[in-house]
Structure 1
């Protein structure tokens, strides 16, 4: 796996060609932001990196972000994208389960806090993880430089405009997208 520590306790690495996952470590809890395509055993990599419990939060329900969910016992995803998780389970023959991941939800990691924010557009259930102290937003595919809105799971363009306006007002200076190797400036 190629990747790097963006800042102490935040790793962004390539699970497979141009598919990135992010690990955020706190003193009591870690969050794995997306599980990639599931080709590599990220659970073993995470276990080697952290000594705390780790939960998975999916930025959205596309298969290149949820493919490794089956390797983790605790997964959170926005309910609007649960049909995508169910479709992946049907295709792979693996069971799925997820707890709701809703905008406004906060995770106290110990010395670091993460807040879920809505980034609907790429999918109706696209969310981000705002690390205010670090002024960093984990944006999944919602703010990729090349943003795709395909299929029935995509939001409307009016929803995307509202999301971009809301993101502009959020307190971050840089963000990580799931198909870029490092942080992008907010004005991107």
Structure 2
């Protein structure tokens, strides 16, 4: 969700620099970075729960129940906020740099439509964007899993880790930490594999 929205908005704002859409995209990105996820999660929980009567907490182990599926909406939105902001800012900056390259000027000189220019820009920006996506995704997941599970009452690894720290359960703390490390190692390995698929020159 964050990749689709962030990359699309970033390229769109780069193609329309100094326009109202560009200023709006910058404002949304800074707002997404500036608002702490704890406050955003609490605000959405109070707003939805109070105004619309939507029970967004109290997850159960039956993950496929309709109630649990509905309760995943707010945590997903909160988690995607920071990632979308980073994707938007970085994509806009990278796309602005690429729009001044010779291959873009040549495409525009041949009369290529905006959609084709945007496709060329995204293809050339794929590898740097992939680096940011993996780095931000892993970092945000590792930090926000504690916030989201605490606010929304999700029985996950963050809840278990906080309980282990509170109870001074050293073996469980070490086990949870090892799991986070494993996720980081696997994520970087998948990132390297994706490099080779997106850019054959990486294998050289």
Fold match by TM threshold 0.5: no
More helix by share: 2
Q: Which has the higher contact order (CA 8 A, sep 6+)?
A: 2
Query: Which structure has the greater CA radius of gyration?
Result: 2
Is the strand fraction higher in 1 or 2? 1
Q: TM-score range by the shorter chain?
A: under 0.3
